[in-house]
Structure 1
Amino acid sequence: MADIHGTYDDLFSAVPGALAALLDAGDAGGSVAVFVDGEPVVDVWGGFTDGGRTVPWQRDTITNVWSVTKTMTALCALILADRGALDVDAPVARYWPEFAAAGKEKVLVRHLLSHTAGLPDWDAPVTLEDFCDWPAATSLLAAQAPRWEPGTDGGYHSLTQGFLVGEVVRRITGGSVGRFLAEEVTGPLGADFHMGLASEHDDRVATLVPPPGKDEDYAARAPGAGAAPASGGAIRVRDGNSVAWRRAQIPAASGFGNARSVALVQSVMACAGAVNGVRLLSEAGTERARQVQFEGRDRVLGIPMRWGLGYGLFGTTYGWGGWGGSLLVIDPDSRMAVAYVTNQMREPAEETRGLDLVMSAYDGLQGLRR
């Protein structure tokens, strides 16, 4: 059996066992964390940081978590809303006047957070260089017309959501969403999560490993889609492994962290706004995330979805996953956050690893609550 490092409560031994099974089955590396009441009951890791299986995964290894990053961006927006600096029912143009172009004057901030703004992709062809150029990426979105009447339908804004919400955050705070996250969230919590990764952390990064049978040109696809986005802006594994991607502010997809940091930060949402004496928002502020904004068949993902404010809703839990496998699940009723972070990518249609680990966590939770 693969070696698993870290600590865990005996009641949660199924979680490290499940991670070991994934590594034995061929995964490169990963980490899992379960926080209950803001405290870690599981914090484990194992495997390797590279496809060649030469560099062991360490306690401080971090990797690109792809769309789990959206939950960090959403948290920043919810904090601003809780402080009264952001009105989620206000037109986006109140904060970003140029956004009113092309019939978008009635698009609300909550439409951005709930994937109902009608801007799931760029109309013009975009490249990695465009994604790394904040003014270019946001200006293109400000100029284009929505593809459906905002607020009437849902369609996953895979990369655009981060730029849309992030620009609103920038207009309010005067700094990037990555800066706000560092100063107002991860700094106070002591969480090792980064959006716009500094070069000093490069030696800790686990490189992304494509799914079996694929190479670094393997490109992102929506789970229900059969083709790349119409703009040709599909992101490849090699892009995610590039230095340009690490340095960039791509608030929907370029966050770097490990399971411990993801679970710690999002425990704020599981624990009514405060963790370890650090209060980031009120209990009412956390409840905003669970307000249903859209329920139906997502026109991009091609599957039934319930969208809240910045998070996907799943029964009484919420969270989101990233391309390749990383996953976050928040259960406020149990005050639990479960995070799985991996550098081993899988095809979306074959992906069950994160959910299997979450179910293992619930086995332990039942014993803990007895």
Structure 2
Amino acid sequence: MSYEVRGTVEEGFEGVREELADFLAGEEHEPGAQLTAYLDGRRVVDLWAGDGTTGDSLTSLYSITKGAAHLVVALLVQEGVLDLDREVAAYWPEFAAEDKGRLTLRELLAHQAGLVGVDGGFSIEELADDRLLAARLAEQKPFWEPGTAYGYHAFVIGALTGEVVRRVTGKSIQELYEERIRAPYGLDFHLGLPEALEPRWLEVQPLVPTPEQIALLRANSFAPDSVKAVAFNQNAASPTDIVAFGNTRAVRALGPASSGGVGNARGVAGMYAAAIGALDGKAALLAPETVAEFSRVHAAGPDLVTGSPDHFGLGFEFLADRYPFLGRDAFGHSGATGSLAFADPASGVAYAYTRRRFAFPSGDGESPENGRLAESVLRAAGSR
């Protein structure tokens, strides 16, 4: 296995390369990682490592996809197409079943719907198709009273918000993302990977845990009837294998808006750079007031699924408490392999780190090295 860090950094960002190389030197099983950062719309870091991995390689990005989906929603709110304080059922009447009619779009985006899954779970065909997910979720009784608490809607939040978008615009989140964000900027981040790009895709690989990590995983396992089990589709007849999910062609082809995106660090960092600043001669996608609204915490306290405190803004994860070097209006999303991507308006930094193998601890959350890697980018940006 080769851990030579390849790629380029601008003058002043050499420490980022050193930080990535230092981390990878201690990794025995990492088959590929990418790190890209923009500063004020200029790419200043573009690095990769691992046998067979290049800066152009594509991989399954899991919940980083939620950032793309909810950037579309933020644009529609900014333009007045969607109203955060209008009931979801006003856009999508079938959603009102089982006493869900009072839930607002704002509460839905803050993961407060209580619809983390369905009784009996989903098949892989349903998880790949947002329209099928939305139809089943509309009929489902929520797992807590909507609007009273929040919990990570891991596999379904994009289908729920996406159905609202489709009812209003007549187009899916995937179509709007392609038309308004991916294609105009030429981003290598796809919600629906074309067959022609499959040769550039590299499969996701499972965690290779140590005996100590195996013991911790067993100790932290959850009961099959818990809310967490429902959220991660472990209550299905065939519980979801998260590695196999990302490696399923149907998932990549349809690009479910919660978890099916495929791309690389360049594409994701470029998307966040475009969100907060000028890129390729175009103005920032989001106004500062939109960023402020979507990035702030909308539900305080512990997440009923993950246990994380103050976890969400609107669709995006709230990051400043986990990474104190970021501004309070930083916004982004992690992915199950341990990947992370965000925009930090205060510094002008857009960051994306992707990896092919699941990190420890496994699950839908960023890997520990993101702290040191992201801080090295922010430190270099500050010195400029």
Q: What's the TM-score, normalizing by structure 2? A: 0.86
State the secondary structure of the residue aligned to 1:268. helix
- Paired positions, count: 353
Q: Name which of structure 1's ranges 136-145 and 12-21 shifts more when overlaid on structure 2.
A: 12-21
Amino acid across the alignment from 2:260: S
1:180 aligned onto 2:181: no
Partner in structure 2 of residue 169 of structure 1? 165
Partner in structure 1 of residue 46 of structure 2? 43
1:228-247 alignment, distance < 5 Å? 229-230=229-230, 231-232=235-236, 233-247=239-253
- Distance in 2 (CA, whole Å) between partners of 1:224 and 1:183 is 42
Partner in structure 2 of residue 209 of structure 1? 205
- Distance in 1 (CA, whole Å) between partners of 2:190 and 2:258 is 13
Partner in structure 2 of residue 339 of structure 1? 352
Q: 1:118 aligns with which of 89, 114, 133?
A: 114
**1:184, CA displacement in angstroms?**
0.5
Percent of aligned pairs with the same residue?
34
Task: Report Cα offsets for 1:177-220 as digits up to 9, x if no partner.
Answer: 11111100111122111011111111101110111149xxx9xx
Q: 2:89 aligns with which of 85, 88, 93?
A: 93
State the secondary structure of the residue aligned to 1:294. coil
- Distance in 2 (CA, whole Å) between partners of 1:41 and 1:57 is 20
Task: Report Cα offsets for 1:129-169 as digits up to 9, x if no partner.
Answer: 11123332111100112222222211011011011011112
Q: 1:320 aligns with which of 306, 327, 333?
A: 333
- 5+ residue gaps, structure 2, are 321-327
Contact 1:224 1:303 in 2 (8 A): no
- Distance in 2 (CA, whole Å) between partners of 1:227 and 1:35 is 42
1:299 aligned onto 2:297: no
More strand by share: 1
**1:314, CA displacement in angstroms?**
2.5
Contact 1:130 1:136 in 2 (8 A): yes
**1:290, CA displacement in angstroms?**
1.9
1:281 aligned onto 2:282: no
State the secondary structure of the residue aligned to 2:68. helix
Distance 1:92-1:278 versus aligned 2 partners, 3 A rule: same
**1:275, CA displacement in angstroms?**
2.8
Q: Name which of structure 1's ranges 226-235 and 180-189 shifts more when overlaid on structure 2.
A: 226-235
- Distance in 2 (CA, whole Å) between partners of 1:342 and 1:296 is 30
1:11-160 alignment, distance < 5 Å? 11-24=12-25, 25-26=27-28, 27-48=30-51, 56-160=52-156
Q: Name which of structure 1's ranges 120-129 and 92-101 shifts more when overlaid on structure 2.
A: 120-129
- Distance in 2 (CA, whole Å) between partners of 1:34 and 1:249 is 24
Q: What's the TM-score, normalizing by structure 1? A: 0.89
State the secondary structure of the residue aligned to 1:348. coil
**1:172, CA displacement in angstroms?**
2.0
State the secondary structure of the residue aligned to 1:75. helix
Contact 2:276 2:286 in 1 (8 A): no
Contact 2:203 2:356 in 1 (8 A): yes
Amino acid across the alignment from 1:239: F
- 5+ residue gaps, structure 1, are 49-55
Partner in structure 1 of residue 324 of structure 2? none
Distance 1:134-1:363 versus aligned 2 partners, 3 A rule: closer
Contact 1:269 1:332 in 2 (8 A): no
